[in-house]
Amino acid sequence: MSKIAFIAPDKQLFLQGKEIIQQLGLEHKFDLYLARLNRGIRLAKKLQNEDVDVIVSRGGTAQLIIESKVKIPVVEIPITGQDLAQVFHESKRLTGLPHPKVAILAYRNMVNDIEVLSKILAIELVIYPLKTVEDIPAKIAEVVATNANIVVGGIKTVLLAAEKGLQTHLIRSGDFSIRSAFLEAQKIALGRKFEKERSQEFKALVDYSLEGIISINQERVIKVFNRAAERLLNRSAKEMLGKRIDSLLNFINVETCLIEGQQSIGQVIQLGAIWITFNIAPIIVDQSIIGAIITFQDVTRIQEMELRIRNEVIARKFVAKYNFSDILGVSPQIIESKRIAQEMSSINATVLISGESGTGKELFAQSIHNASPRKNGPFVAINCAALPQNLLESELFGYVEGAFTGATKKGKPGLFEMAHRGTIFLDEISEMDKYGQSRLLRVLQEKQVMRLGDDKYIPVDIRIIAATNKNLLELIKEGHFRQDLFYRLKVLTITLPSLRNRRTDVKYLAQHFLHHYQRKYLKHLEITPSGYDYLANYFWPGNVRELKFFIERLVVIANEKTITEIVLQKYWDDRESAPELANDTVEVPLLSEEDRIICALTQYNSNITQTARSLGMDRSTLYRKLKNYRIEVKKTY
């Protein structure tokens, strides 16, 4: 809470101020003291170490406190013209003279415009200026040697003059002056409170920053030296504060910064066994450079933090980054597959995705997760074929301390635990061994897991999406896959079409990959219609993945700007011959006119002009066919 100290030089002002403070309802904000002149200075210096924001005083006491350089704002109770008029009126009354000779002993802050006022009121005035309290006795002696009728001044002046037998009158302040000073002090205290809060926030930021921070003024004197700077530079703040930076840290050149305001970022220097990187920036106030700030960091620590964060992200940050909009294609087959998958997204049931290698099974799995109510949960993907069988179980279900030789002391949670409230994607589920299959079946049935070496179950809330590029029914017949697990997985199923079964997508996908890799490698190629036909007639055993990587290779190595069928054959030396009898190969019948219009509309986002051009017809013909086939045109963006 803000505190205001009222230092009254006399008892009458003390009581007068106390009453006004009560009238204003500010008792909880004021501390009242009775002290004048030198005692007032000693008191003000003591209050510097206490929770005081403002000092209110009057006359010589206020003047002396200000001149003593006390680090607390001082609000003076002014001696107003009304107060001086009252003094002159009382001087006439006390002396009984219409034009008394008045001697006033005053500090310079007490006698503004007093001479003008004395002439108006027909007072014969002599001013004896005071600089320090020690001046008062000598000035009283001067007054005694004159024929002054009355001496006017502060409490000490009045007391000493009375001892010399002189008639006296004490200068007093009116209630209005005192009230105005108190209200002004309250405003200043509030401003000081905000200033303290900002100062404490800044101090906390500086003290607890992991960066070393040094602040200097224009004279290169160190004003701030935080704890991190102490640790990094192996110097104490007590040793550094108040010293010139160039005399202690001569490897830091601040000349350019202080003179031209130029920043210096990322300088590196070796200090002992560690490497330090530091930055220098100017401190500018009202377009003037008043100093500079230097920040330090331990390069080794930065590298360690980067490695730890990277490992943490790899180990813990399970995020699905693909959505249905990332699955490209305009063929009826892929559009229908996306529609089915989107319907599955909202259902919290196990999904089994079948399809050849390269058809986008994980892409569909991530899209289903991101379109599901579990989208804010983790997406944990594991390739069952990529881990040895002896590690697959421990990775999926985790283990406790001592479960096997080499197990970490604290144990390790499995991927099922990490996928809690999210989705776990088991790719190539057909490669899981029989024991792992039985454990997985237990998870599906009980919704709980048991770590290796443990005797208790851990409940988990997960959705399982499994994928396979093999025929699981054939594996069941051969005894390699559990039938009961198959039917547990086969709740929602989707079979992704191979690229040779959606040949109308080959050109669309090839154009997309071509544009992507041209931007990446800053090259420009153009595939001719015959080239696209050649690509479409290939049977693509690696599906979309194979097409993507071939287009990337083509962009990188081709010298020709125009890619024809002949050029494709030149760079496509690893293409395979289509099998004569492929059980899984289904020839795609020629599309009907209606299907060709729908595909073209999808490819060109329902742009009528582009669609008509691609179909080799004019706009009016296309509109007529749209009407005949009852095809509704909806633009997509």
CA distances from 161 to 75, 99, 118, 136, 165 (A): 28, 21, 21, 9, 7
Chain region(s) in the chain for CATH 3.30.450.20 = 209-301
Q: 3-state secondary structure string, 339-405? A: HHHHHHHCCCCCEEEECCCCCCHHHHHHHHHHCCCCCCCCEEEEECCCCCHHHHHHHHHEECCCCCC
Instruction: Report pLDDT for 556.
Output: 92
Q: Name residue 275's beta-bridge partners.
A: 270
Domain 81-172 has CATH 3.40.50.10660: yes
Model confidence, pTM:
0.47
Of the candidate CATH numbers 3.40.50.2000, 1.20.1560.10, 3.40.50.300, 3.40.50.150, the domain formed by 325-495 belongs to 3.40.50.300
Distance, CA of 358 to chain centre: 40
CATH 3.40.50.2300, the chain: domain bounds:
4-77+177-190
What burial class does residue 617 get, using C-beta atoms within 10 Å of its C-beta: 0-12 exposed, 13-18 middle, 19+ buried? Answer: middle
**pLDDT tens, 318-332?**
788 899 999 999 999
Burial class (CB in 10 A: 0-12, 13-18, 19+), 573: exposed
Q: Which amino acid is at 360?
A: G
Beta strand pairing status for 124-130 and 74-77?
Answer: unpaired
User: pLDDT tens-digit profile of 387-429?
Assistant: 776 677 777 888 877 655 555 556 778 888 888 888 999 999 9
Superfamily grouping for domain 209-301: PAS domain (3.30.450.20)
Give start-end residues of each CATH 1.10.8.60 domain in the chain: 499-571
Contacting residues for 409 by C-beta, under 8 A, at least 6 apart: 401
What CATH number should be reported for the domain whose range is 593-629? 1.10.10
Give 18-62 pLDDT, tens digit per residue.
Answer: 999 999 988 888 999 999 888 999 999 999 888 788 999 988 888
- Of 153, 186, 135, 224, the closest CA to residue 9 belongs to 153
Listed as ranges, residues in the chain with pLDDT below 70 are 1-2, 109-113, 302-317, 389-390, 402-410, 574, 576-592, 603-604, 634-637
Amino acid 406: pLDDT = 52
The pair phi, psi for residue 419, each rounded to 5°, is -90, 10
What integer pLDDT is reported at residue 110 of this predicted model?
65
**What topology does CATH give the domain 4-77+177-190?**
Rossmann fold (3.40.50)
Amino acid (1-letter code) at residue 1: M
d(CA 494, CA 466): 11
What whole-number distance in Å separates Cα of residue 531 and Cα of residue 320? 35
Helix axis angle for 361-370 and 332-345, nearest 10°, is 40
Amino acid 14: pLDDT: 92
Q: Whose CA is closest to 385, among 428, 350, 347?
A: 428
Residue extent(s) of CATH 3.40.50.10660 domains in the chain: 81-172
pLDDT of residue 635: 54
Looking at CATH, the fold of the domain delimited by 499-571 is given as Helicase, Ruva Protein; domain 3 (1.10.8)
Residue-averaged pLDDT of the chain: 84
Pairing of strands 101-107, 54-58: unpaired
